[in-house]
Every structure is written in structure tokens, then in C-alpha cells.
Structure 1
Amino acid sequence: MQTQSKIVDLPEFNVVIFSFLLNFIWEMWQIPFFMAIPNGTHWAGVVACTQATFGDAAISIVAFWCVAAFAKSRRWIIKPSPSQIGSFVMVGVVITIAFEAIATVLLDRWSYSPSMPTLPILGTGLLPVLQWILLPPLTIWFVRRQLT
């Protein structure tokens, strides 16, 4: 039983859990803004959103570790400075813009519906970028509540 309590005390574990939960809701909400998913089966949408959410959780943990490397502490998330919060957000935004470009342009893995607002010049969907501006601070808030 003691091993279990140690796992839940790890900042990384909490980042992954809360990031997964928040991002899954976001992924499901933004389904109408992507092509094919709104016309597919319900299960296909759930599977696609779950896969995307695993990617979101991975981006969150990479962003967490980037900030931890600069902070020289994995516990930075307990009392994050504004620059640490901003760095956490920005790492996610940069990775998201890169992944969206690779997926939509180079690999043609998915495409946006006409209702998806996009960023000028980049063509990246606005909703995936907003996801990485709005959800990381919420993730930090939940993790802090859990660990303190």
C-alpha cells in the first residue's frame, strides 16, 4: 500500500492524471471543428479523442520536465512563479503548433472543418492553441491542490 501512496505523491503522476482528464473533455468538445470525426461513429470519435488525449498528457509531462530542469526541482509546481507557469504554457503551445503542422500538412492525419478558426500565416487551428493556453494553468491548480 505504501508504494501506491508514493506514486500519487509524484508531481508527474498528478500532471499526467489531471492533464488527461482536462484534455479529454476539451478533445471531445472540439470534435465538430475537425473533418471526418463528426460524421464517424460515436466510438470512432471516442477512440480518436482518447488517442489525442494521450498525446496531450505526453506534451504536459514534457512541458513539466522542461520547467523542472530550469527550476532544478520537480516540486516547482507546488509554488510556481509566473515565469514557470508561462514556460509550462509556452512549451505546450510550441509543441502543439509543431505537431498540428506536421499532422495537418506533412502527414495529412487530420484536417480542420471550415468552422475551425485558424491562426494567420501558420494555419494552425485556434482551438488547439487555446487548449494549451487555458488548460495548463488549470492542471497546475489541480496538482497544487492535490499535493498540498
Structure 2
Amino acid sequence: MDHTAIRRVRELTATPEFNLVVFALLLNFPWEVLQAPLFEGMAAAPHSAVISACLQATLGDAVITLLAHASIMAVTRRRRWVCVPSWREAAGFVAAGIAITAVVEWLATRGQWVQTWTYSSAMPLIPGFEIGLSPLLQWLIVPPIALWFVRRQSARHRSVDGLH
């Protein structure tokens, strides 16, 4: 790699979005694997099919993460809010993710034009909405951990760069 390419890679990996997506991918995949039995047919599906479905869901989680990040960025007009989030920014991020996830879950399970997956009888449902509890809990647990990791990562970058 030449010096320009190395610099571009360093610049990319220092962006808050890159770090947020990396941590979202790493944290959401195990959650997706653990909740797989809560979806119809996953308990009996071949291992490769479960892994494939969980990878697809994890990529969807990363997209939702970026959309939730963008929603807070639009409000705060600060791209790097995620590096040192206030409690309001973190709460807004989680709330945006829950809202997006709820819509995706409804469309995927109940929507007239998209039925993508079905819950197994083991999935606890939110009464009145009939959407799965596990995907919503995922947004209460995983993204705050991802924010914590991004904050630590950005602090490390500042220390290494002599900015802290």
C-alpha cells in the first residue's frame, strides 16, 4: 500500500460512523444467533442457513445503527456526537433505533407488502403491536454498549494522536 492509501484507511477508521458500525456488527451478530430460535424454522434449520440469516440481520442492524446515528447528527449538527454522547443523545439514539426496529419488525411480520419472517411461539410479543420483544430489547442493550466502545475508541485515538 502506498502512503496515500494508508492515510485514507486511517482517516476512514477514525470516523465515528466506521467505529460505530464495526462495534454494531460485532455486538449484534451474537445477539442475532442467540435469538434465532425465536423465529420460525430457525431451530431446525441447517447451521449454514442460520448463520446466513443472522449475518443478513446483523447487516440490517448496522444500517439501523447508521440511520439512528444520522437522526441524532441531524438534530445536534455534530457528526462526532457519538464520541462523547450526552445522556440525551444516547437516549435519542436508542429511541430512534427502537422506532426504526419496530417499523421493520411490523413490516417484516405483519406488513401487507413485505412478510419476511415469522416469529416462533417462543417469541414474547408486545401486546397490541404483536411485534417481538427480543428485537426491541436488543436496541436497549446492544447500542449503549456500542456507544461505550466508540467512546473508548475515540479517547484512545485522541491519546495516540496527542489530542487528549
Assess same fold via TM > 0.5: yes
Secondary structure at the aligned position of 2:131 is classed as coil
How much does 1:108 deviate? 2.3
- Matches of residues 1-148 of structure 1 in structure 2 within 5 Å? 1-106=6-111, 107-148=114-155
Runs of 4+ in 1 over 6 A off after TM superposition: none
For residue 110 of structure 2, what is the amino acid of its counterpart?
A: V
Q: In structure 2, what is the Cα distance between the partners aligned to 1:33 and 1:60?
A: 22
For residue 54 of structure 2, what is the amino acid of its counterpart?
A: C
How much does 1:128 deviate? 0.2
Aligned length: 148
Q: In structure 2, what is the Cα distance between the partners aligned to 1:71 and 1:112?
A: 37
Q: In structure 2, what is the Cα distance between the partners aligned to 1:46 and 1:79?
A: 34
Q: In structure 2, what is the Cα distance between the partners aligned to 1:48 and 1:55?
A: 11
Q: 1:69-103: per-residue Cα shift (whole Å, max 9, x none)?
A: 11111111122111100000001000111000000
Q: For the aligned residues, what is the CA RMSD?
A: 0.8
For residue 153 of structure 2, what is the amino acid of its counterpart?
A: Q
Q: In structure 1, what is the Cα distance between the partners aligned to 2:9 and 2:116?
A: 38
Can you give the 5+ residue segments of structure 1 that lack an aligned partner in the other structure? none
Aligned residues: percent identity? 41
TM-score normalised per structure 2: 0.88
Q: 1:28-76: per-residue Cα shift (whole Å, max 9, x none)?
A: 0101111011111100000000001100000001101111111111111
Can you give the 5+ residue segments of structure 2 that lack an aligned partner in the other structure? 1-5, 156-164
